[in-house]
A and B are shown apart, each in its own frame.
Chain A
Amino acid sequence: MKINVEYKIRRILDINLIILTGPLVWEKNAILPVSETGMLIWEMLSRGTDLASLERAVTDEFDVEPSEARKDILTFIRYLIKREFLIK
């Protein structure tokens, strides 16, 4: 899996924003506010990390059960695929 768009990240206090750049900046949903967990997943996906490593990183970083982490990661990944931010 890899990130399929040009983007930049903005952090304002505890607000994390993923902003599409290039031609996609004009799309209706060109900005994506995400939680700390979402930002960690995005950054790891941008480095081409696999699902198992993602799960490990999320459970290490945040106080969450592996099954819960997996569920959250998959939900987020499905959303990113649906919006074509992520390709398999």
Chain B
Amino acid sequence: MTAVMGNKREPEEQFIYIIQCFIHKVRPDIQVIGNSGKLRYLAGIHGLTAVLDYINILYPDVFPEYPKEEAGRSLTRAACLMALKNAQMEETEKLLSGHGISYIPFKGYVLKRLYPEPELRSFGDVDILIHSDDRKKCNDCLLNAGYTLCKDWEPVYSYRKGNLYLEVHTELLDTEISSRVRCREFFKKDPWGNTVQTGYCRQEFSAEYHFLYLIAHIAKHISGSGAGIRMYLDLALFLEHTPEMDWNWLIKALEETRLIHLSSHIFLLLERCFGIKIPVEYDRPEDEKYLLFLEYTMEAGTFGFENRGRGSIIMKKKSVEESGPVAVIMEKLFPSADTLKARYRYLQKAPWLLPAAWVHRFILTGRKATSHMQEAKAIMYADPEETERLIRIQEELGL
């Protein structure tokens, strides 16, 4: 196995090393003394508390300051929730199949089986792709079965029932990730042609296609607020479980989608942090750039919302277009027809319906005026240096 860095005294180093041991199913050769609180904090913001509890129960001497019983209670709570979500999704799958609706589950709900216990992989929602022709049938079937429609954001619709939050997609990407990549068209082309049948109406993406999508998903989050270490743990486990992946296809697709530069950073992270062997040659980023990427990944949690100014995140997205704070606030409140037409297709044919789309958006997103006010305040007080740093990192990653 690869040593992470130095003699693993820093909590971040210890955390990554413990995750590395989790991937390779070996006992961590350390004792966490004085850092238990920080490690639990890191696990919490990265959605990996259950994984840390699992290691704690398996190897209690690694965490002499954190009682195994406490870890057991924490893991039981997490496992109950995830087991329930999984069981509820299984019922939902039966419902969809019963109505003849073809679907492809992807991301967390599929990735969970790569974990030694599926309940260790936490997820907030379950994503499925359906044919756009089945949209109405799927909506009627879910509403009749007691699901509540939460968001109707073409091409993504979300529903809630019990503990389950279901996101139904008719396309894999609703907008282009950034002006530097070419992902949307790629994933629009033929997602159903890159699947294997796993049930009467159930299909799953081929390994290469799903792996590529997961990299695109990371790119999407980095272009937004950020991506944490759990997304890379998923990839590490994916590669550990998929030794026969078609790398030629994957590299070609990474070049076509222009995600190759980001993927070289990801591959190096997987090698250095998790000891995963990448079976192809790739351009290794310089150490300084890699460490910047690692620090960026570690600092702000699963989706980049921790310790990162909301205003800077918004300004980072908009600063590419060189707008000032007031223009950004106006654009957030009243987006242009170009921005909205991906979600509200009637704007493609009738851009003059833009004011109606604004009202439609306010109603569907259900956001309160106070939330808009808070966002506007965050934008006005955004730290320009932080914004600049986030833009620089995104550019370094080719996004």
Kindly supply a per-residue 1/0 record for chain B positions 29-61, scoring 1 wherever the CB is within 8 Å of any chain A CB and 0 otherwise.
000000000000000000000000010011000
The 3 residue pairs across chains A and B that have the minimum distance between CB atoms: A26-B162, A12-B117, A19-B87
Question: Is A13 interfacial (CB 8 A cutoff)?
Answer: yes
- Nearest CB in chain A to that of B92: its residue: A25
Kindly supply a per-residue 1/0 record for chain B positions 46-87, scoring 1 wherever the CB is within 8 Å of any chain A CB and 0 otherwise.
000000001001100000000000001001100110011001
Question: Is A39 interfacial (CB 8 A cutoff)?
Answer: no
Cβ-defined contact, A19 with B83, below 8 A: yes
Question: Is B331 interfacial (CB 8 A cutoff)?
Answer: no
Cβ-defined contact, B91 with A17, below 8 A: no
Cβ-defined contact, B87 with A30, below 8 A: yes
Residue in B54, B75, B83, B87 with the greatest tally of chain A CB atoms within 10 Å: B87
Cβ-defined contact, B58 with A17, below 8 A: no
CA distance A25 to B146 in the complex (A): 13
Among candidates B57, B83, B90, residue contacting A17 with C-beta atoms closer than 8 Å = B83
**Assuming A25-B162, A26-B161, is B84 touching A12 (CB within 8 A)?**
no
Complex contacts, A30 vs chain B, CB 8 Å = 84, 87, 162
- Nearest CB in chain A to that of B120: its residue: A12
Cβ-defined contact, B54 with A13, below 8 A: yes
Question: Is B88 interfacial (CB 8 A cutoff)?
Answer: yes
**Assuming A10-B119, A13-B75, A15-B72, is B91 touching A25 (CB within 8 A)?**
yes
Kindly supply a per-residue 1/0 record for chain A positions 4-38, scoring 1 wherever the CB is within 8 Å of any chain B CB and 0 otherwise.
00001010111101011111011000110100000
Interface residue total, chain B, C-beta cutoff 8 A = 20
Complex contacts, A8 vs chain B, CB 8 Å = 87
Cβ-defined contact, A31 with B83, below 8 A: yes
Cβ-defined contact, A15 with B87, below 8 A: no
Complex contacts, B146 vs chain A, CB 8 Å = 26
**Assuming A25-B162, A33-B76, is B84 touching A13 (CB within 8 A)?**
no
Among candidates A13, A15, A21, A31, residue contacting B90 with C-beta atoms closer than 8 Å = A21
Complex contacts, A25 vs chain B, CB 8 Å = 84, 87-88, 90-91, 162
Among candidates A10, A22, A26, residue contacting B83 with C-beta atoms closer than 8 Å = A10
- Nearest CB in chain A to that of B90: its residue: A21
Among candidates A14, A17, A23, A26, residue contacting B72 with C-beta atoms closer than 8 Å = A14
Complex contacts, A15 vs chain B, CB 8 Å = 72, 75-76, 79
Residue in A8, A20, A25 with the greatest tally of chain B CB atoms within 10 Å: A25
Could you tell me the distance in whole angstroms from the C-beta of A10 to the nearest C-beta in chain B?
5
- 16 pairs, CB–CB < 8 Å, chain A vs chain B: A8-B87, A13-B54, A13-B58, A13-B117, A14-B57, A15-B76, A15-B79, A17-B79, A17-B80, A19-B84, A19-B87, A21-B91, A23-B91, A25-B87, A26-B88, A31-B83
